[in-house]
Each structure stands twice: as C-alpha cells, then as structure tokens.
Amino acid sequence: MLRLPVLALGLVVLLLAQSGARATTGGVAGAPVPGALTHAYAYADTWRGWPVTPLHRQHPIRGSLDDPRPSGYHIGLDISVRDDLPEAGAPPGRTHRVHAVEGGTVSLAPNVAAVGCVNRIVRVGHFAYWHVDPVGTVVSGQVVAPGQPIGWTCKDLWHVHLSEWVEVGGVRTWIDPLHPGGKLAPFVDTARPAIRSIRFFEPAPTTLQEDGAVVVAPARGVELPATALHGLVDVRAEIDDPQSFRGWFAGPRAGLYAPHHPYRVRLTLSRANRPAALLDRDVFRGDRVLGKGEEVTVIEPSVAFAGHFAPRTRQNLGAKRCVQQSPAPCAGRTVLRLFAGPGGRRFWNTRLLANGSYRLTVTAWDRRGNRATRSVTVAVSN
C-alpha cells in the first residue's frame, strides 16, 4: 500500500477541524453531516492553474468527487485531455504533459517502471496524479516547482486523475480539488444543479453490477404514489450538477460531456399548510469523499456506497469506450437516497408522523454556490 510523504512543517501548514455542522429535526441537534468539514487551507506556494496545458485556462472535467466507481466512491477529478491531439514531443503511448499544481518532493512507488501506465501514480505536496507516467521526467525524492512537468498522460484514457488530501485529526482523507481557495484556477460554473425527479418506492436494496468497467444499479423496488405513503419509504432523487463550461466537449467530442455529482443536498419536511419545518437537514456535503478511499481511511461519519446511491444509478461510460461508440452520449445517472445517513440509515419511517399532507423540499448546491430547489406534496396514510 502506497502512502503519501509527510511534508516538512516549513513547507505547508494545514488547519482543519472536523465540521461542527449538525442535522436538525425540529430544531434538535442531530448527527454530524456526512462529508462536511470546516477548513482553512495553506499550500507550499501561491501558484494557481491546471495540471495540463494551457496551464491557466479551464479544462473540462467528466469525473467528479463521489461519482460511483466499481471500487466505491471516486476520490478525485478526471481532468480531460484530447488523446486524438497528442502534445508535441509525446513519447509512444503517451499524449499530454502533466504539471505539478503544488511544488514539493516527488514520491513514486519503487516499482513504478514495472507497472502499466494506468497504474502509475505521482505524488507531490497534497496532490496525487493517477495514470501519469513519470519515467524519464522526474524521480522519487526530486524537488519540483509548481507548474513543472512531472510526467505524461496515458494514451486511450483521455484524462489525468487528480486527487487532493488533507489531514484531519491525524487522519488523511481525500477532498474535492475544486474547493474554494483551491489550486485549480480559473474554474467557472454558472449552471445550477438539476433535480430531475423525486420518487417514492417500497424499501429495496441497491444491487451493484458491473457492465464492462462501469458500475450500474439496476431498477429495483415497487414505486409508490405520493398520495398514499406508509411505513418505510425509499425516497429517491435524481440529481446532478451540469457544467456551464464544456471546453472542447462542445465540439466534435460533445458525447464525452457528463455532469458532476452534486456538492450538497438538503432535505426539508413540513406540514403542507404550515411553514415550520419538522425536518431540516443536510443529506450530505461533498467537502470530502463520502466513503473510504484506496489509500486513506476517512473520518466518520461516512455513508455506505449502496445507501447513498439508489437503484437506476449508472456510472459515466469510460472515455475510451465512449469515443468508440460516438456520437452516442455517455453520461451516467446519479440517483440518491434522501434519507441515507451514517449507521446504515436509508429509508423514511412515515410512522413517526401523523397522517396527513406534507411538503417535502429538496435543495441542491454545486461547488460555486449555484442552487436549485424542487418540492413535492405527499400524503402519509399509515
């Protein structure tokens, strides 16, 4: 198991504290919000940019933090590159130079030259660059400046995967590199999240399957009418985060575009004819990965993968397969359980409420504060 190097105190100071954010039910403090952190960041330098050229222009991203993957939650960003237009000087099987977004000491696995390009990782500062070939560019222990080349992307993957970590309470955890004050700049997104549906089902498990290298959750459960909810109810919402910037996805490769996982979702429940909230809580916030990453154990509370993602969820099709079947769109589908939470909680127990009409409101945010809201009136009839 590979570990990130511990940085000298003279390089960077990270001030993080576990979030004190609390869910509320009728004004009573509840469990900490999954994924939430309060934090202040300080890096080894003030450089801002992107890991691929042009370094100071935005690039399209088709894989975001917490997207579904066969191994669990996605632990970073897939920053896209055009493998059909390789950069000048690219070695065989490689396409674009990758540049450090933070300076520091390079850390490589001892066997980096022996594994395939897809499994090669470069670590510098608080960042890990997956699917990057450093051989012939940098060596382990070398000190690099921000913006300096550290390797090449692998042909046919169409992206570099970028992860960022922080240490909280002595535990390292993956966070979203697009957080405010982060290294990736410029980043512009003016599009609001899309709450495409809110539906109700009898409780049903999420059965995860793999379709090639893509994880899917087939449809399961009997749908219930919103006018007659009773007992335990599986409340599902299809929500995603469209991107206003599409870059070269707006051209001949438009089929590669895929919206992101939403950053934050909040749930409010009230009587249909009364404004006071009976339930008002964040379902989750995406400051950090919602589950365990490949190398880092996250702090609790985390949300079980099959509890967070509901049936009908589908991962984005990999870029190589997407290009091969172009121009068909390759975007996945994000269906979330609105009553998911730590400890395996997944369903809404309507027996805790008096029979009658209620208003359920869902609000979703992206990382830039764009917000969307959708409400539905339901009737509890136990």
Q: What is the largest CA-CA distance in the chain?
A: 69
Encoded amino acid at 57, one letter: R
Sign of CA dihedral 55, 61, 63, 65: positive
Query: Helix or strand or coil: residue 60?
Result: coil
pTM of structure: 0.90
With cut-offs at 50, 70 and 90, classify the pLDDT of residue 226. very high
369 Cβ contact partners less than 8 Å away, ≥ 6 residues apart? none
Percentage of the chain with pLDDT > 70?
88
pLDDT digits (tens, 9 = 90+) for 259-295: 999 999 999 999 998 889 999 999 999 999 998 766 6
**Cα angle, residue 354 at apex, residues 350 and 360 outer, rounded to 5°:** 55
Give φ, ψ of 92 to 5 degrees.
-55, 135
With cut-offs at 50, 70 and 90, classify the pLDDT of residue 28. very low
Residue ranges of domains in the chain? 15-175, 194-380
Q: Residues 327-336: what's their mean pLDDT?
A: 87
Q: Residues 148-155: what's their mean pLDDT?
A: 98
CA distance 44 to 42: 7
Q: Residue 90 pLDDT more than 60?
A: yes
pLDDT at position 145, please? 98
CA distance 24 to 277: 10
CA distance 263 to 176: 9
Q: Residues 251-256: what's their mean pLDDT?
A: 88
User: Token pair of 370, please?
Assistant: 């764009």
Write b or e for each residue in 30-52: b if 16 or more Cβ atoms lie within 10 A of its Cβ, otherwise e: eebbbbbbebebebbbebbbbbb
Fold of the CATH domain 15-175: Glucose Permease (Domain IIA) (2.70.70)
358 Cβ contact partners less than 8 Å away, ≥ 6 residues apart? 269, 270, 271, 272, 278, 377, 378, 379, 380
Query: Helix or strand or coil: residue 347?
Result: coil
pLDDT digits (tens, 9 = 90+) for 165-191: 998 877 888 999 999 999 999 999 999
